[in-house]
Structure 1
Amino acid sequence: MFKNSLKLLLALLILGYSNTIIAQDIKLENGKQYILADVEVTGKFQYSEQTVVTFTGLEKGQKIIVPGSDISAAIKKLWKLGLFRDVNFYVNKIQGDSIFLELNLHELPKLSDVKIQGIKKGKAEDLLKETDLKKGKIVNENLITTTKNYIENKYRKDGYYNSKVMITTIPDSTDTEVKMLVSIDRGDKVKVKSIHFNGNEQLSDSKLKKAFKNTKERSVFRIFKRSKYIKDKYKEDLTAVIEKYKENGYRDARVTSDSVTYDNKNNTIAIKVNLEEGKKYYFGNIRFIGNTVYNERQLNQLLGIKKGDVYNGVLLQKRIADNSKPDGEDITNLYQNNGYLFSTINPVEVKTYNDTIDFEIRITEGPIAYFNKITVVGNDRTNDHVIYRELRTKPGQKYSKELLVRSIREIGQLGFFDAENIKPDFKNVDPQAGTVDIEYNVVEKGSSQIQLQGGYGGGGFIGTLGLSFNNFSARNIFNKDAYKPLPMGDGQKLALQLQGSSYFQTYSLSFTEPWLGGKKPINFFASLSHSKQFLYNYSTRDVTRDQSFNITSLSAGVAKRLKVPDDYFTLSTSASFQYYDLNNYNTGLFTFGDGASRNLAFTVGLSRNSKGSNPIYPTYGSEFSITTKFTLPYSLFNGIDYGDLKNDPSYKVFYQGPGYFNSNNNWVPNNSYLAENGDAVADPNDAALNRAKYDQKRFNWLEYYKVKFKADWYTRVYDKFVLRTLGEFGFMGAYNSERGVVPFERFYVGGDGLANFSLDGRENVQLRGYPNNSLSTTDGGTIYNKFSVELRYPITLAPAASIYGLSFLEAGAAFNDFQEFNPFNLQRSAGFGLRVFMPAFGLLGIDFAHGFDNVPGTGIKSGWQTHFIIGQQF
């Protein structure tokens, strides 16, 4: 009996298993076939016995040899499940040729709770999500090892070179569950004490250290790139050093050895890199082989490298294929933008003599490729036609990488998807047929926003409720099944805003259809708003309800995407009408307390927007716009002589003080109001009344024109840093100098640029570092200019929240007319800030800015100002 049991154990050990078949006081005959009568399953497990037996592949009545391949196969299957810590077969009894087996199983424990210590609670919660340590997960050695390695590597990548993680499991009240304790000791970040290069004679230490993009020496002056050591990044930096040599002609440069020495006492490392520079090379003859579509002159012009130039391997590769720019001006894109998807371009060194290298650029053009099937996946809420109409890639069209990149941008600009995760997948690439299928993968993000805020301003509490549905579907308004909570998916925009306090209310509704008629990119937009303000005493905070001022506004327009000069251009036209209704409202905003004023204006704008695919954080491109807003020249046909109105003595009293007209019709100041030689005398009691009558005629229909220009650039300058440069200019004028410029629609410069509560159509121009509207006169400016430079860095661009930091320099000013306009007389500021964009709430931010100049009219330097940004994107 013992001998037979031992043979069974040895047979299983040979197969690589520690689990055994044990015959207890039962004699097995070697090589004998038995009939399996029954398999009894015992131990601790949660599955039914029948399920376990079925999975082993063993069946009652089958002929088996014990030990044998059938039992071994059953054990393999059970182990592969990864659910058990013990698998044992026992022979219960033998009756003639029948054998009865027992399968004893013990499941691996499951996770009941996880506790992470050594880091902050918020960080621990994030780590639980990253490692996927959930309740009910099976705990085995592999889980413990992979979790430990992941956490240690995570912190080492952040510079915690000595991070240690210890994971222990504690049995719960039952044998089937365990609690896990993860103890994290990050240690201190390892700083780079020194970086020494040996063997470098042609390139200085400072140049080579700059090539180390990720590994930097410790320095108190280092702000943006902290000193830390990450092994993988360090290896990348060694490669970058060789690339730096190749840029300067040293093709044979190499790292002969390097060392990283750790100082445990000071928690620093010292890096030594030994280099062999080799000699400096120059470009020799460059020939193109295999080109039939483009001649050598065209290719050489794009290559931009001439015989005798210093050898630059990095530049050569960029001119062949610039992997850092998907739309770069290189030879590969030249071919791929014209259908040659299957083309290959390889630079080959064919001859090296002395210090000169000859090259052949070997081109295999291949057949022209065409787009076949174009599909989009991942859009759960947005309807297909909203995406397809933005695509530049069409079935049957000649393949173009440029159109592919442009399509990605257009999808991102919709604002409905995570711009960082729009990926075109190439499917069914068939060189023989010359076709390729493109599948765009998109990830939906929240497109609707809610604005709910309250604050104290203008002498009282102001509450705002705003709802913006940026992917609305008007055609499904009457489809009750489409309300989730509103009909969505057609790319339209519907916005509603309610704002109010004890002394004013504002209601507004706007709608935008980006593809009017669904056939062409013609944007239609319309808005309706109504404001009501009661007379308010800021000192006593009393509201007078029988004195009010109402504005009703209506506007509509269209914007069409152009094809010439290119399809980044948009031409827009719109018309707007405002009706101002005053009811016993005497405040100084108007000189008449009862009456009405009307503003019928037309706007024409031309813009070009080529900003990158992410509208929240563009990394390249630009936006230029010029806009003209104007009214009809009523002075030409309304029959009013505004010069005669100004000569009314009462009007002169109001504007220029007491006096009279002399015999030459000139105004003579005279505080006694006494006439000389019978000249007309102005009655000061009638001055305000006559001024009100005059201004009622002036402002019955507003008359003005306004021109604005804006230029906005985005450039990636280093790593993830993006430089934004901005210039703005605005001018407002009058058709009739006697009538003058109206006191509406003016420019108010300074502050956060938010549309603060106002009733005169003013435009608030942001210039941080100064109080709101402080750089304009009380009546507003008719001219302004502004310049801004902003350096941005993304903290995260995740769909749930895009966050980036920024620093800026700004300068600008407002002027009353061209006589005092000086584009170099500017108020300057500098500062830093943070932006957070969440799909449900829009853009939120804060800026800390220092104004270097005096606030006009105060003689006091502005100094530090804090600005809160809500809902703006700039």
Structure 2
Amino acid sequence: MRIPRVLGPLLGGPVRSSASRPWRRAPRFGATRGIVTVLLAGAVLAIASGTGRAQTPEMITNVQIEGNAQTDEALIRETFGLDAGDRYQVDQVRQGVRNLWRQGLFRDIRVSAERSDGGIALQITVEENPTLLRVRYDGQDKLKEKDFAEVVQLVPGQLVSPAAVDQARRDLETLYRSKGYLLAKVEPELLGERRADLTFRINEGKKVQVEKIRFHGNEHVASDALRGVLKTKEDRWYRGGDFKEDVFDEDKERIVARLGEDGFVDAKIVDVRKTFSENQERLFLDIDVEEGPQYTVGKVDLDHGGEIPENRLRSAILLYEGQPFNTALFDESTSNLYSTLHEQGYIYANIDVRREPQDDGSIDVDWVLTERDPARINRIIVTGNTRTKEEVIRRELRVAPGDIFKRSRVIRSQREVFQLGYFNDIQMDSKTADRETGAIDLILNVDERQTGTASLGAGINSQAGLTGFLQLSQNNFLGNGQILSLRAEFGRFRTFDLSFTEPWLFGTPTTGGIDAFDTRRRYTEYIESRRGGGLRVGRPFPWLDYSSVSLRYSLAKYELDPEPGYEAEIGNPDPTTISALTGTFFRNSVDSPFFPTRGTSTRLVGEIAGTALGGNEDYFFATISTRSYFRTVSKFVLSLGANAGWLTGLDSANDVPFWKRFRLGGISSYGVRGYDDYDIVPNELFPSTGGRTFGIVSAELRYPVVQAVQALAFADAGNTWEGPGDFNLADLKRGAGLGVRIDVPMVGQLGFDYGYGFDRTARQGGPGWEFHFQIGGQTF
């Protein structure tokens, strides 16, 4: 006989929803989900048999599955949990139905039971959710389908449930809220019975702007101070006022932290009310805070039994008795103590921080330090160096096996290896090598970058005309860290340069190098030829970090031939030989050799040439250049630079080589953008004659568009004068504009600048724009 039905509501399941009409909107969780109908035996069997005594559960003789067109029968059986040979129990049947429902595969589940010879036969009849054919979006404008694909977890071919559709709807609305579209609404439409198309109809609404942020309940901390820590800002003409839920959630933590800085340790946000203007485009935020009592710092204790002097540890603590209890300084003090311990090798140290509120409104603080033994470096493991030889990396490290693990030296080692310029990234990691002694292995994982460059191109400017060039360079020659460079330039500028540098001469940090050059440059007024070479040697400067000194000897033959019509101006100088010694001091503390964000680079150069060295010219010049980098708001980096130089003859101040004089302009080392190369000179009547003194100041604001591309805005000002007495900051030639820097593998860094020269003379065409192009160190 057939056992009477016991409907789904008896199991606490949902009631029936209409499956005969298309889904116009996916129901939310807790709403109607479909039919769950269960035909159970259990207690009904006792009534049917006319007995009131307890009976042993009957055996299930068979479980039959029907209605599953796509769902694997084995999956249904496994999920249901009961099969032939199991004892029939009502609770287990109910649980099996719940398990099936949780899969999200079915819109209807029926279980019927029928007594057969020897037990109970079960039949599970399922009605599957429709198969998703495609997902469409309608009405979107500000966001694109690729943005939706990152949050919507529905793909064609899967069985789609109302719950899954509703989850996708909520995910889309959350995505819009995260972008500032608080009023966005998404309505799903699922059309089809067994195979269905899903369309999300989107009403984005306008992006809401924050009109006003108001605080209530803050009696001691000013509202402006609280607003100042928020990333959510009020809309102003100079900035937007976008509201993003995830950012505001973080802002609420910042508010509590800011109150804690003034001693309100128990401060909390009680409520946040959001109201909109009539047009729903402006948002008013009212934030209710509860400051609570203001605490002061009580006793400050430090308990430790290690070898680090207590005065060194106490210098890390920023809290003092009697001041308001600043939670930020409290956290920073704990961090400083850990840094001090780690710097001395106590990386396994533990700090137990105890805060005890007192009746007088103060908080006593006690830092209890357990230092343990300092950790030593067992091995240094280098990985990822597919080209660079391990020795090249290891010689830059400031730590060695057997050393006490000091955090600052490890970080410095990472920086020194990165400054080589051979790697895209360097990751430092460590692992315990010996649990008894605490020794650790230091792991240095490098990501090699392309260090060789090959450049071929052409350019044009008013000085050089049309030029072509070929440049080959390898900054990590054969993986040995050596630098080999060859450059050839053709056209009005003809150049052949060859240089080789060994950074570790004789296995010591001594730089040695050799240069050879043959150059012929044709300008409007004259042709300049020089041929020669040089030897270089350098060492790290021992008393100043990040610094080095070098000395170069060069011997070159110079010839200067005036073009027809310029003999009176240029004269007809005889070929001359210059024998010179050049000393350089260089300090470089920037954090990246490619796109720095902080630090300073400074170079001092002095050169003396004279007959005592075997040449024909006697002169001295000195230059100084410096540039500093500062992180500002967001990812912007501010760069400030200055250059200055002075040239004088040893016999007479004006008796200096013509080609050694300073001519500014362009994007070179003596560059002022917005002006043509070498076009800023002291005397407009003699544009080919440079000055003996110059000064340049420069400012750049850079922004990383992507990892290898930076956009920039710049402002330059500079001039050159005949002598130091003519130096005048009010007489600077000004330029400003926009540019971009692109790091291209196998080519180097490309630079494109478009500058406006405000003080260009009539000879220079008056105020106007000038385009500058740079590839590697070459400018056009």
Tell me if both proteins adopt one fold, taking TM over 0.5 as the criterion: yes
1:429–1:716 CA distance, 2 compared to 1 (3 A): farther
1:500 aligned to which of 479, 483, 490: 490
Residues 781 and 816 of structure 1 are in contact (CA less than 8 Å); yes or no, is this contact kept in structure 2? yes
Instruction: Give 1:274 deviation, angstroms.
Output: 1.1
Count of residues paired in the alignment: 723
Matches of residues 183-194 of structure 1 in structure 2 within 5 Å?
A: 187-194=205-212
Instruction: Give 1:627 deviation, angstroms.
Output: 1.8
Instruction: Give 1:229 deviation, angstroms.
Output: 1.4
1:608 aligned to which of 587, 593, 608: 587
Other-structure match for 1:558: 537
Instruction: Give 1:233 deviation, angstroms.
Output: 1.4
Other-structure match for 1:568: 546
Amino acid at match of 1:530: D
Instruction: Give 1:43 deviation, angstroms.
Output: 8.7
1:634 aligned to which of 602, 605, 611: 611
Amino acid at match of 2:671: Q
If the length of structure 2 is used for normalisation, what is the TM-score? Answer: 0.73
1:785–1:457 CA distance, 2 compared to 1 (3 A): closer
If the length of structure 1 is used for normalisation, what is the TM-score? Answer: 0.66
Residue aligned with 1:408, SS: helix
Instruction: Give 1:341 deviation, angstroms.
Output: 0.7
Instruction: Give 1:310 deviation, angstroms.
Output: 4.0
Other-structure match for 1:817: 723
Q: Deviations over 1:616-659 (max 9, x none)?
A: 3323322233222232x217988xxxxxxxxxxxxxxxxxxxxx
Residues 784 and 814 of structure 1 are in contact (CA less than 8 Å); yes or no, is this contact kept in structure 2? yes
1:187–1:361 CA distance, 2 compared to 1 (3 A): same
Q: CA–CA distance in 2 between the matches of 1:521 and 1:137?
A: 64
Cα RMSD (Å): 5.6
Q: CA–CA distance in 1 between the matches of 2:209 and 2:419?
A: 41
Q: CA–CA distance in 2 between the matches of 1:350 and 1:780?
A: 73
1:112–1:231 CA distance, 2 compared to 1 (3 A): closer
The question of 1:239 aligning with 2:249 is answered no
Amino acid at match of 2:578: N
The question of 1:767 aligning with 2:672 is answered yes
Residues 44 and 107 of structure 1 are in contact (CA less than 8 Å); yes or no, is this contact kept in structure 2? no
Q: CA–CA distance in 2 between the matches of 1:254 and 1:826?
A: 56
The question of 1:209 aligning with 2:223 is answered no
Residues 378 and 440 of structure 2 are in contact (CA less than 8 Å); yes or no, is this contact kept in structure 1? yes
Q: Deviations over 1:227-259 (max 9, x none)?
A: 211212112212222322333343343322222
Other-structure match for 2:24: none
Residues 428 and 436 of structure 1 are in contact (CA less than 8 Å); yes or no, is this contact kept in structure 2? yes
1:423–1:552 CA distance, 2 compared to 1 (3 A): same
Amino acid at match of 2:180: G
1:233–1:115 CA distance, 2 compared to 1 (3 A): closer
Residue aligned with 2:586, SS: strand
Other-structure match for 2:280: 266
Residue aligned with 1:241, SS: helix
Residue aligned with 1:749, SS: coil
Other-structure match for 1:617: 595
Q: CA–CA distance in 1 between the matches of 2:534 and 2:184?
A: 62
Amino acid at match of 1:251: V
Other-structure match for 1:743: 658
Instruction: Give 1:428 deviation, angstroms.
Output: 2.9
Q: Deviations over 1:280-304 (max 9, x none)?
A: 4443432211153334433334435
Other-structure match for 1:360: 366
Q: CA–CA distance in 2 between the matches of 1:139 and 1:732?
A: 82
Matches of residues 715-864 of structure 1 in structure 2 within 5 Å?
A: 715-737=630-652, 740-751=655-666, 753-754=667-668, 764-777=669-682, 778-796=688-706, 798=707, 801-803=708-710, 805-822=711-728, 826-828=732-734, 833-847=739-753, 854-855=759-760, 862=767
Other-structure match for 1:522: 510
Q: CA–CA distance in 2 between the matches of 1:462 and 1:113?
A: 56
Q: Deviations over 1:331-390 (max 9, x none)?
A: 322221111112234543335353544322322222201122333444445444443333
Matches of residues 303-318 of structure 1 in structure 2 within 5 Å?
A: 303-318=317-332
Matches of residues 254-293 of structure 1 in structure 2 within 5 Å?
A: 254-262=268-276, 265-293=279-307
Instruction: Give 1:273 deviation, angstroms.
Output: 0.8
Residues 774 and 856 of structure 1 are in contact (CA less than 8 Å); yes or no, is this contact kept in structure 2? no
Matches of residues 417-428 of structure 1 in structure 2 within 5 Å?
A: 417-419=423-425, 422-428=426-432
Q: CA–CA distance in 2 between the matches of 1:407 and 1:167?
A: 56
Q: Deviations over 1:568-609 (max 9, x none)?
A: 221222233433356896574995669633333332212222
The question of 1:531 aligning with 2:519 is answered yes
The question of 1:197 aligning with 2:215 is answered yes
Q: Deviations over 1:410-464 (max 9, x none)?
A: 2332333334xx4323323766422223333444444444545444323743334
Amino acid at match of 2:468: G
Residues 342 and 431 of structure 1 are in contact (CA less than 8 Å); yes or no, is this contact kept in structure 2? no
Q: CA–CA distance in 2 between the matches of 1:629 and 1:85?
A: 87
Residues 635 and 736 of structure 1 are in contact (CA less than 8 Å); yes or no, is this contact kept in structure 2? no
1:218 aligned to which of 235, 240, 243: 235
1:204–1:597 CA distance, 2 compared to 1 (3 A): same
Other-structure match for 2:398: 392
Q: CA–CA distance in 1 between the matches of 2:164 and 2:385?
A: 35
Other-structure match for 1:253: 267
Instruction: Give 1:773 deviation, angstroms.
Output: 3.7
Instruction: Give 1:272 deviation, angstroms.
Output: 0.9
Matches of residues 83-482 of structure 1 in structure 2 within 5 Å?
A: 118=140, 156-162=177-183, 187-212=205-230, 214-222=231-239, 226-262=240-276, 265-321=279-335, 330-419=336-425, 422-428=426-432, 432-458=436-462, 460-470=465-475, 472-474=476-478
Q: Deviations over 1:143-176 (max 9, x none)?
A: 98998777765554343445567899999xxx9x
Residue aligned with 2:346, SS: coil
Other-structure match for 1:714: 629
Structure 2 residues without counterparts, runs of 5 or longer? 7-12, 14-34, 37-57, 63-67, 79-83, 90-99, 109-127, 683-687
Residue aligned with 2:663, SS: strand
Q: CA–CA distance in 1 between the matches of 2:639 and 2:773?
A: 20
Q: CA–CA distance in 2 between the matches of 1:524 and 1:128?
A: 58
Q: CA–CA distance in 2 between the matches of 1:303 and 1:408?
A: 28
Amino acid at match of 2:220: Q
Residues 622 and 646 of structure 2 are in contact (CA less than 8 Å); yes or no, is this contact kept in structure 1? yes
Instruction: Give 1:818 deviation, angstroms.
Output: 1.8
Instruction: Give 1:137 deviation, angstroms.
Output: 9.9
Amino acid at match of 1:390: E
Instruction: Give 1:787 deviation, angstroms.
Output: 3.1
Matches of residues 695-714 of structure 1 in structure 2 within 5 Å?
A: 701-714=616-629
1:504–1:819 CA distance, 2 compared to 1 (3 A): closer
**Percent of aligned pairs sharing the same letter:** 27
Residue aligned with 1:776, SS: coil
1:584–1:807 CA distance, 2 compared to 1 (3 A): closer
Instruction: Give 1:402 deviation, angstroms.
Output: 0.6
